[in-house]
Amino acid sequence: MSRAPHPLIADVAQIRLRANGAVLCVRHKPNTNLTPGQLTVVGGHLEGSEPLDRAARREAKEETGVRINVDQQELGGLVHHHEPGGTDRITAVFVTQSWTGAPHNAEPDKHEGLFWAPTEKPPPDCHPYTVAIFHILTHGPSYRALNWPTSGGAR
């Protein structure tokens, strides 16, 4: 039996991780379409045929003004978020503990500011997707499927 292709969006997240377990997040302005007023990890969509790791480094520079070299970056995991009846999102999560430059809000039109959020106990205004990424970083596994049906046949 053939099935119609399900729309899939590829996203990236670039985690700046401090030794104390805090991650640099952005707070979206209340009037934004995505995650209004919530804390989220730094990231976004791929542009064209851009490699995942390069997209994550680009997003870090665009949103926070920091530069990350390829040798400073590690794959932290994958999150596959299923929206029943909607679009699936798969996010490649990259982690770094070093970067060049001082983080600042490089997109003040989109974000209220930058905030360091603890991965062990995320603030209540963290977006659920961000909380799932924090869980991967602190507890594993390196792949997490969200909102997939728990019963029924194979997808």
- Condensed to tens digits (0 to 9), the pLDDT of residues 1-28 reads 455 555 667 899 999 999 999 999 999 9
Q: Looking at the 3D structure of the chain, how many domains does it have?
A: 1
* 122 within domain boundaries: yes
pLDDT digits (tens, 9 = 90+) for 34-63: 789 999 999 998 888 899 999 999 999 999
Range of the domain at 46: 12-146
In this structure, what DSSP letter does residue 98 have? -
**For the domain that residue 62 is a member of, what is the CATH number?**
3.90.79.10
Q: In whole angstroms, give the CA distance from residue 80 to residue 97.
A: 24
Q: Summarize the chain as % helix, strand, coil (round to 5).
A: 20, 35, 45
- pLDDT for position 35: 87
Q: What is the DSSP code (8-state) at residue 55?
A: H
What does residue 11 show for φ and ψ, rounded to 5 degrees? -120, 165
pLDDT of residue 4: 52
The answer to whether residue 154 scores a pLDDT higher than 50 is no
Residue-wise pLDDT for 119-134, tens only, equals 999 999 999 889 999 9
User: Would you say residue 35 lies in a domain?
Assistant: yes
Nearest 5°: CA angle at 64, between 59 and 68? 65
Sign of the alpha-carbon torsion through 98, 22, 73, 8: negative
DSSP state for residue 7 in the 8-state scheme: P
* pLDDT single digits (tens) 76-131: 999 988 777 777 888 999 999 999 999 999 999 999 999 999 999 999 999 988 99
